[in-house]
Each structure stands twice: as structure tokens, then as C-alpha cells.
Amino acid sequence: MMGTRLTSNLQLYGALSADEQRAVDGLVTSTRGVAAGEDLVVEGDTPMQCRVLLDGQAFRHRTLPDGRRQVMAFHIPGDVCDLQGMFLTMDHNVTALGPCEVGLIPHARLSDVMEAHPRIAQGFWRLSLVEAAIFREWMVGMGRRTAYARIAHLFCEMIVRLRAMGLVQQNRCHFPITQQHLSDALGLSAVHTNRTLQALRGEGLLSFQGGELAILDWPGLKAAGEFDDGYLHQAKIAAISAAGA
């Protein structure tokens, strides 16, 4: 089923009934392949459909008038890249990091399903709130963490998110970004990023090469990144939903 990635993602934050799962599975009406570097959504767009990543990864970014770029999020399979397009004009771009498969959900169809299933509507709202929590955490990092902690924190975040979607094998995952993406995501210079990455490698915490990330020392990396996964809201919400069901 084309929509199952999305269903798995929604279920990280709250259980869905069999009926609700079927409704979410059926949201994606068509898919398309996107090449590495191709834009999925562009600033100023008022899309008529949402794009959910079924395979591959993408990133959100904005370029300031003086040419400096800020990466604002990395997206993995199951993420809806432009949920805000339901309500707002896009104020940034989303671009494929590598080849992606994207599922398209017409807004009208999503509205119908959300109207018929209030818990699905809550689930999508939650997805956008978790996204916002991740933006805030990145802000804390850039405002107050060292370069060393920022990089470690980002790798911790990606491994936890990818693992929840079943995309980590033996502490290894695909994360096809360059050092430039890393610099632009963390507000660092290229030189600083490179030097810090070498330090993390040198301490045996991780290896990161050719878009493959391997966590070699999870407790060490968590400590280096001062990482607490509470802001990802995965287990806690699921526990609350289960208790309330």
C-alpha cells in the first residue's frame, strides 16, 4: 500500500483503529519519483496537495537575500513535507537529498478523511506540532550549544527518528547529506563542521561517510549531544493515547 509509511508515522504518536488505518492508507492517490537535488515544494507555492515521503530523504531550507542558506529540517520516509500548505502559503523550499519516491495527497481528500475521522485530524495536527518541537530544539542548539554538541545532537535525533520508522539496522542508517548541509543546518562554518566531525570520529563515537551514518558509541554520542529525546514525543504520546483508549 502506498500510504503505509504515513500510517506508521502517525502511529508513532497515537494508536489508530483498523478503520482509521485503512483511511490513512488510502490517502495517497499517486506517486512520483524525484531526482536528487530536485525541489518538492518551492517558497511562494500554494499547493493543492500534500507530499509525503515514501522513500528517500529531503531537506527544508531558505536562502536569505545575501545568499546565506539555512537548513531548517531533514525529512525521512513517512514525513509530510508540506502539511502547512493545507493552511498557509509555503515560506520555504523542500528539496530531495537523494532520489525520492513521493506520495501525493490531494488536500480535498485529506480534508474529507479528517472530517470523517477526528482522530486522524488530531494525528496530522500532532505531526505538525512535533515538527515545531524539532524546530525549537534546533534553535536551542544554535543559540546555546557548542558546535560539538550540535553535531552530536543532530545525529542522535536522526538515528532515533529513523529507528522509529524501521530504517536503522545495527546502528547504521542512510543519511545522505554533505558537510555543507550540516553547516547550513547548524549555523556553522564549513571548516568548523569538518574539524568537529573529525573530533567525533576520533573519539570513536560515530562514522559518517558517503551518506552512511554508523553510531559506534550510543551512550557516548548522547552525552556529547546532551540529547534527551523528550521533544520527539514518541513514547509519551503513545502511552497517553493507550491509557485514554
In the complex, the smallest distance separating the C-beta of residue 213 from other proteins, rounded to whole angstroms, is 22
Question: Of the two residues 167 and 225, which places its CB atom closer to other proteins in the complex?
Answer: 225
Q: Does 119 bind other proteins (CB under 8 A)?
A: no
Cα 133 to chain centroid distance, Å, stands at 12
Is the CB of residue 73 less than 8 Å from the CB of residue 59?
yes
Answer for which of 128, 169, 178, 194 binds other proteins (CB under 8 A) is 128
Considering only the stretches 99-107, 152-160, 167-175, 181-189, report the one whose residues sit in contact with other proteins under the rule CB under 8 A. Answer: 181-189
Is the CB of residue 113 less than 8 Å from the CB of residue 124?
no
3-class DSSP state of 94 = strand
Nine-digit cell at 13? 504518536
Strand ranges in the chain using DSSP code E only, listed in sequence order: 30-34, 39-41, 49-55, 58-63, 69-75, 93-96, 100-106, 172-174, 206-209, 212-215
Answer for which of 1, 108, 191, 240 binds other proteins (CB under 8 A) is 240
Q: Does 42 bind other proteins (CB under 8 A)?
A: no
Which residues contact other proteins by CB under 8 A? 60, 62, 64-66, 68-70, 72, 83-84, 87-89, 91-92, 115, 118, 121-122, 125-126, 128-133, 135-140, 142-145, 184, 186-187, 226, 230-231, 233, 236-237, 240
